[in-house]
Chain A
Amino acid sequence: MHSLAVSRLPISSLQAGDQEAGPLATRPFGLDLLTVLPEDSWSEPVVTVHPVSQLSQIGDQICIESPEFRSSGSLLTDTSARPGGQEDEDG
């Protein structure tokens, strides 16, 4: 078995870019598809991993066991809907 192609590890950064846009003349056509998500004042909660169950928790609430963190879209679009959020849809 071959070893992993280490330069190609798909690790996604969660940083939201705030660099200014370049001039329109050199803005790639594909970015015209952009739908800007509504600004959301809701700040990203601090999420940790529960030491025993190893599940995601916010405060002392296990995320998947608390209804307020579960919404239908949240597992697809998840926290990405919020600035500084995390989820990438797919891929």
Chain B
Amino acid sequence: MTWTPEPRVLVLTRARDETADYVLRELNRRGVPFMRTDVADFPLRTALSAELRPEGSWRGALTGASRALALEGLRAVWWRKPTPFGFPSSMSGPERAFAESQARRAVGGILGSSPEVLWVNRPEAIADCTKPRQLSAAAAAGLTVPETLITNRPGDVAEFAERCGGRVVTKSLGSIRYSGEGKNGRLYTSQVPPHRWNDPRISLTAHLFQREITDKAYEIRVAAVDGRLFPVVIRAPEGPGRLDWRRDIDNLNYTSTTLPTAVEEGIHTLLHSLGLVFATLDIIVDTQNVHYLVDVNANGQWGWIDQTHEPIIHALADLLEKGTR
């Protein structure tokens, strides 16, 4: 076992996470000791043992294959992309459910109870950053948000769409990943033409409809780290990437930019109200220079954009190194 001196930073993520790797390489360069583990490593590869102290703190250790972390030294947790607890495959469904319930309460409860620890981000803040909540918080923070309807009443869509000049899009309320029927797919933002407005299958669950920004000039992806903003203009060539740039990820053009002060201030207020120290945000800018906030990703990706790659690595490393103190 390679024993590093008292890790102060815990990084929870899956084995393959290049985005995290860039920051971890920087922490290595700085000599900041950290422990990396996946939630999936518990209980078979990572052990947790903690005892309640009379004054209320948990004293103990998280011990992995190559590193161990004393809970009392922990100052920052980076919640990246962990995967589910890994139990022996011979457990039955109910046995697994019990084991999972025990593990969630123990791991989440012990790590989450220390006031000394900075979370990037608190997992419940990530979980609560739903589209309805973020759009409401964005509007309250003074940012411009396109008109949005969430409904399972097909009849309400036509009236809304007409108010939006007949041009509306729909997008997933959650992950854009969908896998089923043995295939992997993506739920990209799509236009909803008039003949679909009354589709009875809208009633089968909640759906989000939004005014389409038809005179899009360009889009901006902003990473926010501990109050610092890293905005980049994204331009997609003519084609499907114009509506949703992820459809044309290999042909996008990126340029550094700065945001209007009012938008910067709105973002700070928004992230404060969502309880996030890190996020990536999606903004659409129209030909009148109106900045529409459309999305807050509490655990968004940023590593692939060269223009902001290095500064974000340093900002995240600064934040994790600093921790609570």
Contacts and interface: CB of A to CB of B under 8 A. Distances in A.
B98 interface: no
Given A18-B181, A91-B300, 5 more contacts: A4-B123, A9-B108, A14-B14, A26-B204, A56-B15
Given A4-B122, A12-B81, A51-B2, A34 B178 contact: yes
Interface residues of B, number: 82
Nearest to A16: B179
Contacts of A47: 15-16
Contacts of A79: 16
Interface of B: 2, 11, 14-19, 21-22, 24-25, 28, 34-36, 39, 65-67, 79, 81-85, 104-105, 107-109, 111-115, 122-124, 126-128, 170-172, 174-190, 196, 199, 201-202, 204-205, 207, 246-247, 249-250, 280, 295, 297-301, 303-304
B3 to A, nearest CB: 11
9 contacts: A4-B112, A9-B104, A20-B181, A35-B187, A39-B183, A54-B36, A82-B184, A90-B295, A91-B298
Which of B124, B126, B179, B204 neighbours the largest number of chain A CB atoms within 10 Å of its CB? B179
A56 B280 contact: no
A49 B304 contact: no
B interface SS class:
mixed
A88 B81 CA distance: 9
Query: How many A residues are at the interface, by size bracket?
Result: 35 or more
A89 B246 contact: yes
Closest 9 CB pairs of A and B: A4-B112, A6-B108, A75-B304, A75-B303, A1-B115, A90-B297, A47-B16, A5-B124, A51-B66
